[in-house]
Amino acid sequence: MVLNLESKHDLEDFKSYILVEKNFSEHTAKAYYADILAYLIWLDNQACEDVNFSKVREYLHFIQIFNYKKTTIARKIASIRTFYKYLHREKKIENNPAESLISPKRPKSLPKFLTMEEIEQILNNINIETPAGYRNRAILELLWASGMRVSELSGLNFGNLNLENNEITVFGKGAKERIILITDRAKRYLQGYIDYARPLIAKGYILDPITDTTPVFINKTGYRLQTRMIRNVINDIVEKIQLPKKVTPHMFRHSFATHLIENGADLRVVQELLGHASISNTQIYTHISMQHMKEVYNETHPRA
């Protein structure tokens, strides 16, 4: 199969559009780019600008053979719709052939979360006697205390910290800025990491002077700690304590939101703390809390 040259140019321009103008995250932009690239390859030498609705539908029938999940199909449809919407905006096409596409209903699944006991079990089994161990404890304390995304934590610079007021500025999806709050305990571990553990993390390496753009969390060579390493830290602890759950960094975010709701936090406040664009994304945590209440009820009520 041959990729049409004009379509290739359209794809590169589209990538710039969703990154710069639409403020898509790198992860989402990469997924959309891959979706459209696969679509253009399937079109072969046919220009994407000469496609009608029937041709787009034909492609969607074609990808059924790969047995993608409904969420993946929905994303691919969203990618194509956004791509053609962009081409229409740029006046490269007169009619949008993807405008009438309908995404499959996504299965509703409740996010998994950790109980207070499980969180404390994880935190208390981190060896803080080493610089890396103390760093890891500070990281998980922050994830649990703030509900920030692991990518937001990895991207923290010293200029984002306002520890005097227990505040941290983070940049979420689409580079949206928000202020999150942290507990005194999380602040103590973070301050201890900065003062004592961080200078010892990169043994044998000279660290640059701290400025507003200096990364807070670093690896053993002094560079910014990546999200993959944070996931590995959690995996190692969970395996060590043999917790019967697959734990991800995002579960700390889910747990943060769930426990706030359970303890009476206003939904709008939780929305702001999580950085959700729509409150509908936050409302799912009320369902988690209700499910948890039902489980407790069924386990403890003598007539249940």
Q: Which two tokens mark 20?
A: 């710069």
Question: Which is the catalytic residue, given 22, 178, 276, 292?
Answer: 276
User: Is 135 part of the annotated catalytic residue set?
Assistant: no
User: Is 292 part of the annotated catalytic residue set?
Assistant: no
Identify residue 200 by its one-letter amino acid code: L
Cβ atoms within 10 Å of 144's Cβ, excluding its own: 24
Question: Which is the catalytic residue, given 15, 57, 178, 250?
Answer: 250
Question: Which is the catalytic residue, given 173, 220, 224, 292?
Answer: 173
User: Is 276 part of the annotated catalytic residue set?
Assistant: yes
User: Is 297 part of the annotated catalytic residue set?
Assistant: no
Each residue's pLDDT, cut to its tens digit, for the chain (304 residues) gives 667 788 889 999 999 999 888 888 888 899 999 999 999 999 988 888 889 999 999 999 999 899 888 889 999 999 999 999 999 999 999 889 998 888 777 666 667 788 888 989 989 989 999 999 999 999 999 998 888 888 899 999 999 999 999 999 988 776 778 888 899 999 999 999 999 999 999 988 889 899 999 999 999 999 999 988 888 888 888 888 888 878 888 888 888 888 888 777 787 887 888 877 777 777 776 766 666 656 655 766 566 5
Question: Which is the catalytic residue, given 135, 253, 254, 259?
Answer: 253
User: Is 268 part of the annotated catalytic residue set?
Assistant: no
Question: Which is the catalytic residue, given 149, 187, 254, 259?
Answer: 149
Is residue 272 a contact partner of residue 178, using CB atoms and an 8 Å limit?
yes
DSSP string, 11-68: HHHHHHIIIIIS---HHHHHHHHHHHHHHHHHHTTS-GGG--HHHHHHHHHHGGGGT-
* Conformational region of residue 293, where left means phi above 0, alpha means psi within -120 to 50, and beta covers everything else: alpha
User: Is 185 part of the annotated catalytic residue set?
Assistant: no
